[in-house]
Structure 1
Amino acid sequence: MIENKGAPGQKIVTIYDDIYDLPDCRSYYRAMHNAGFRTAHYASTAFRAVLAELKHLRGLDQANVMDFASGYGIAPALMRHDVTLDDVLSRYIEPWYDEATIEDVIAKDREWFQNRRRVGQNDRFAGIDIAGRALEYGRAVGIFDAAFAENLQDDAPSAELQAWLAETDLIVECGSVAHMLPGALDKMLQATASKRPWIATAPIRGNDTSQALEMMREHQYDVVALDMPPFRHRRFSSQDEQKRAIANAEARGHDTKGFEDAGYFHAQVFIARPKEEVTHVVDWAHSPVA
Structure 2
Amino acid sequence: MIETEGNRATRIVTIYDDIYNLPDARDYFRAMHHAGFRTAHHGAAAFVAARAELMRLRNLSSLGVLDFASGYGIAALLMRHQISLDAVLNHYRDPAVEGLTTPEMTAHDREWLRALRDEDNADSYAGLDIADQALAYGQRIGVFDAAFAEDLQADAPSEALTEWLSGCDLVVEIGSVAHMLSQALDRVLRGAAARKPWVITAPIRGNDTAAAMDVMAQHGLTVEALPIPPFRHRRFADDAEQARAIANAAARGHDPEGFETTGYFHAQLFLARPANELTDIADWKISPLAT
Task: Compute the RMSD of aligned alpha carbons.
Answer: 1.4
Poorly superposed stretches of 4+, deviation over 3 Å: none
1:282, CA displacement in angstroms?
2.0
Secondary structure at 1:232 match in 2: strand
1:55, CA displacement in angstroms?
0.5
TM-score by length of 2: 0.92
What's 2:218 paired with? Answer: 218
What's 2:275 paired with? Answer: 275
Distance in structure 2 (CA, Å) of the matches to 1:14 and 1:37: 15
What's 1:248 paired with? Answer: 248
- Cα contact 1:177–1:203 (8 A) shared by 2: no
Cα displacement string for residues 76-97 of structure 1 (whole angstroms, at most 9, x for unaligned residues): 1001101110100111222222
Over the matched positions of the two proteins, sequence identity in percent amounts to 57
- Cα contact 2:206–2:252 (8 A) shared by 1: yes
The 1:147/1:22 distance shift into structure 2, 3 A limit, reads same
What's 1:118 paired with? Answer: 118
Distance in structure 1 (CA, Å) of the matches to 2:212 and 2:139: 28
Distance in structure 2 (CA, Å) of the matches to 1:172 and 1:92: 23
Q: What 5-or-longer segments of structure 1 have no aligned partner?
A: 1-12
Please list, as runs of the form range in 1=range in 2, the aligned pairs for 1:143-222 lying within 5 A after superposition: 143-176=143-176, 178-222=178-222
What's 2:10 paired with? Answer: none
What's 1:18 paired with? Answer: 18
1:121, CA displacement in angstroms?
1.3
What's 1:44 paired with? Answer: 44
What's 2:82 paired with? Answer: 82
The 1:237/1:14 distance shift into structure 2, 3 A limit, reads farther
What's 2:73 paired with? Answer: 73
Q: Which AA in structure 2 matches 1:63? A: L
Cα displacement string for residues 134-177 of structure 1 (whole angstroms, at most 9, x for unaligned residues): 00100011100000111101111111100000100000111246
Q: Which AA in structure 2 matches 1:139? A: Q
The 1:274/1:289 distance shift into structure 2, 3 A limit, reads farther
What's 2:35 paired with? Answer: 35
- Cα contact 1:72–1:138 (8 A) shared by 2: yes
Secondary structure at 2:186 match in 1: helix
- Cα contact 2:179–2:208 (8 A) shared by 1: no
Distance in structure 1 (CA, Å) of the matches to 2:113 and 2:97: 16
- Cα contact 1:64–1:124 (8 A) shared by 2: yes
What's 1:7 paired with? Answer: none
- Cα contact 1:228–1:289 (8 A) shared by 2: no
Q: Which AA in structure 2 matches 1:82? A: Q
1:258, CA displacement in angstroms?
1.3
Aligned residues: 277
Distance in structure 2 (CA, Å) of the matches to 1:24 and 1:198: 30
Distance in structure 1 (CA, Å) of the matches to 2:226 and 2:103: 40
